[in-house]
Amino acid sequence: MALIVYNLGDSSWSTAAADRLSAAKLIHEKSLWVSQTGTIVAATTYIFSVKGIAAVGQSATIKSIRARIEEAIATGADRTVNVDLQRSANPAGAYASILAATIAFTNVSPLLRVWAPEPTLTTTVLGAGDTLRVVVTVAGAAGLQATGLLVEVILNPVDGS
C-alpha cells in the first residue's frame, strides 16, 4: 500500500471572494462552566455577560444547559441541590428563569459521571446587552450535602466567532 502525501499551502485555497465561507455559516460553540468540584455544593450565583461571549453589539443563542454531581450524592433525605439558568434582558434589569424546570438533585439521584437530562429552555435568544446567571440553591440539614457540582451552558454566538 502506498502512502499518499498531500501538502496544503496558501496556494491550495481559492482567494476569490465568492469562494469564501460566510461567517454566518460557521458554528463555534462557547461553553460557560460552573464548577464546585472538590467541595460541598454551596448556594452560589455565577454571572456571565453576553458582551464577553460574542463580539460587541452581537447576540448569541443558548444551545443547552447541563449539570451533574460527580463526586458524592447527598446522604440526607431532605438534601437538595437545584440549578437554574436565568436571563436579564438588560444588565440593570431583573433576572427571570429561562428553564421550564430547574435541574434538581436529591439524595436518591444517581451519582452522575454522565450529564443529567437537559431541561427545556423557555427562550434561547440572548441580546447584545443581556446577562446570564447560573443560580445554585441547596437545602436540607440531614446527613451530608452533595459534593462535586459541574454545570455547562453551551452558546452559539450569532457573529460566528
Give the domain CATH number at 32. Answer: 2.60.120
Q: What is the mean pLDDT of the chain?
A: 80
Asked if the structure places residue 5 within a domain, the reply is no
Residue 138's pLDDT is what?
A: 95
Q: How many helices (H) and strands (E) does the chain have?
A: 0, 9
Asked if the structure places residue 20 within a domain, the reply is no
State the residue range of the domain holding 92: 27-157
Asked if the structure places residue 63 within a domain, the reply is yes
What is the number of domains present in the chain?
1
In one-letter notation, the amino acid at residue 79 is: R
Asked if the structure places residue 126 within a domain, the reply is yes
Asked if the structure places residue 53 within a domain, the reply is yes
Handedness of CA 89, 92, 97, 103 (dihedral sign): positive
Residue 15's pLDDT is what?
A: 66
Residue 79's pLDDT is what?
A: 93
Asked if the structure places residue 60 within a domain, the reply is yes
Question: Cβ neighbours of residue 61 under 8 Å, at least 6 residues apart?
Answer: 124, 125, 126, 155, 156, 158
Residue 30's pLDDT is what?
A: 81
In one-letter notation, the amino acid at residue 68 is: R
Residue 18's pLDDT is what?
A: 67
pTM for the complete prediction?
Answer: 0.77
CA-atom Rg of the chain in angstroms: 21
Asked if the structure places residue 2 within a domain, the reply is no
Residue 59's pLDDT is what?
A: 74
Residue 161's pLDDT is what?
A: 43
Residue 26's pLDDT is what?
A: 59
Residue 128's pLDDT is what?
A: 74
Per DSSP, the residues of 15-39 read: --GGGSPPGGG----EEEEEEEEEE
**Mean pLDDT of each 10-residue bin along the chain, 161 residues long:** 53 62 64 88 86 60 90 91 90 86 90 79 83 92 91 76 43
Asked if the structure places residue 17 within a domain, the reply is no
Residue 135's pLDDT is what?
A: 95
In one-letter notation, the amino acid at residue 66 is: R
Q: How far is the CA of 51 from the CAs of 8, 34, 124, 132, 159, in angstroms?
A: 36, 18, 16, 11, 12
